């Protein structure tokens, strides 16, 4: 089973469709189940959030591979929300994966999704 975070986003939607065409068994972690219907995807999903460690316990069960695409990086969004989602959410996912024996995790992130201007301290 493959878990995809951010599967209803622009890149994630294409990844889900590609993997489904190859016959892969897919599970999505989604915050908003309405986005599943809007995207036209028909696959298993669990409502949860990478910022909530408890929701990750259930979603990672029976998962062998993870594609982590979930991120917040639009202009005008609270930088603390960006940090909580993009940084701490990724840490939560990795820690829970290790707690469950470790899945292969592939990260796909836009460089700005981790370092909004307010947090840029390195040159």
Q: Scanning the structure block, which residue is given the tokens 């951010």?
A: 6
- Position 70 scores a pLDDT of 87
Q: Kindly state the average pLDDT of the residues 100-121.
A: 62
- Dihedral over Cα of 97, 120, 112, 31: its sign: positive
d(CA 31, CA 111): 22
Considering the entire predicted model, what is its pTM? 0.80
Please answer whether residues 115 and 82 qualify as being in contact, where contact means their C-beta atoms are separated by less than 8 angstroms. Answer: no
**pLDDT at residue 121 is higher than 70:** no
Could you tell me the two tokens for 80?
């603390």
d(CA 33, CA 13): 14
Residue-wise pLDDT for 75-108, tens only, equals 677 777 777 888 888 889 999 999 888 877 777 7
- Position 75 scores a pLDDT of 65
Map out the domains of the chain as residue ranges. Answer: 2-119
Residue-wise pLDDT for 47-86, tens only, equals 999 999 888 988 998 899 999 988 887 667 777 777 788 8
CB count in 10 Å sphere of residue 116: 19
- Position 37 scores a pLDDT of 77
Q: What is the mean pLDDT of the chain?
A: 81
CATH, range 2-119: 3.40.50.720
- Dihedral over Cα of 47, 50, 55, 56: its sign: positive
Could you tell me the two tokens for 101?
């024996």
């Amino acid at each position: 089973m493959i878990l995809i975070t951010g599967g209803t986003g622009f890149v994630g939607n294409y990844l889900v469709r590609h993997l489904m065409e190859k016959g892969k068994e897919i599970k999505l972690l989604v915050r908003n189940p309405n986005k599943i219907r809007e995207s036209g995807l028909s696959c298993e999903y669990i409502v949860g959030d990478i910022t909530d460690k408890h929701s990750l316990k259930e979603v990672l069960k029976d998962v062998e591979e993870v594609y982590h695409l979930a991120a917040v990086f639009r202009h005008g969004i609270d930088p603390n929300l960006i940090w909580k989602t993009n940084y701490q959410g990724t840490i939560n996912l990795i820690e829970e994966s290790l707690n469950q024996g470790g899945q292969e995790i592939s990260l796909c992130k836009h460089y700005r999704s981790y370092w909004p201007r307010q947090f840029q301290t390195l040159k």
